[in-house]
Structure 1
Amino acid sequence: MEPHMDAILANFEDMDWFDVRDGVRRKAFSGDGATIAMHELLPGHEPRPHDHPYEQIVYVAEGEMDFHVGGKVHRLTKGGLLVIPPNVRHHGVVVGDRPAINIDIFTPRRAEYA
């Protein structure tokens, strides 16, 4: 991929949601070296433990979530941040009866997202 010489502009408000699975949908945007993804997760969604070669920074914008990372559970409320190292098994679960919005930043870029 050629590096961009100009700024790249976008707005999450103008992007369509992509249905990942029942109870989970995503919007994503990538630059040359990183990807940012917004996820909406509904209470009762099916958690999917996984790992990947990306560092992931999680920001909970709305709601409350338990993040299971490497065998430990971390509760994040609105404004909470968490760094998940590459290749560590993890997943998130909505706490309570309200949807959660979380923003993930991945580095390097996740080409399969955007």
Structure 2
Amino acid sequence: MTDLTGGKIVVQNTDELPKFGNEKFASQILADETIGVENVSVGVVTFEPDAEGSRHVREVEEIVYILDGVAEIITDNETYRLTRGQAAVIPPGVYHKHVNAGTEPLRKLWIFAPQGPEKDIREREVTGS
């Protein structure tokens, strides 16, 4: 294990982190291997009203926790509606998409276990900080 933090706690301020995505939805990566975290990656994504992600599948577990707003997670067979304070665990291999089903911005905390999908997020356009 490589300790990139020098044994210190790392504090991340989302006001200062880059946003990866576009004007409709963008993620900020809070923790991954770049700061010495192993096995999981954590971030926050904001979806503007009426925004939705594309249908996708992951090879890792995806955990989402709703910070603000109303989300729908749509699979091939079901639609799950989540509101502030609710969480969902999406198993590997499940095709799904995320939708802001409310009229306000949707903010979700995401966790990937193990790490991996955050690398694709980093390749998206940087929309600002």
Same fold? TM cut 0.5:
yes
Q: Distance in 2 between matches of 1:14 and 1:41?
A: 16
Structure 2's unaligned 5+ residue stretches are: 123-129
Code of the aligned partner of 2:57: D
Q: Distance in 1 between matches of 2:53 and 2:9?
A: 33
- Verify: 1:94 aligned to 2:95, yes or no: no
Question: 1:1-114 counterparts in 2 under 5 A?
Answer: 2-4=1-3, 6=7, 9-28=10-29, 29-30=31-32, 31-110=37-116, 112=119, 113=121
Structure number with higher helix proportion: 2
Following superposition, which runs of at least 4 residues in structure 1 exceed 2 angstroms of deviation?
A: 2-8, 12-17
Q: Distance in 1 between matches of 2:112 and 2:76?
A: 18
- State the SS of the aligned residue for 1:13: coil
Structure 1's unaligned 5+ residue stretches are: none
Aligned partners of 2:70 and 2:106 also within 8 Å: yes
TM-score normalised according to structure 2 size: 0.77
Q: Distance in 2 between matches of 1:40 and 1:108?
A: 22
Matched pairs, number: 113
Q: CA RMSD in A?
A: 2.0
Shift of 1:70: 4.4
Shift of 1:43: 1.3
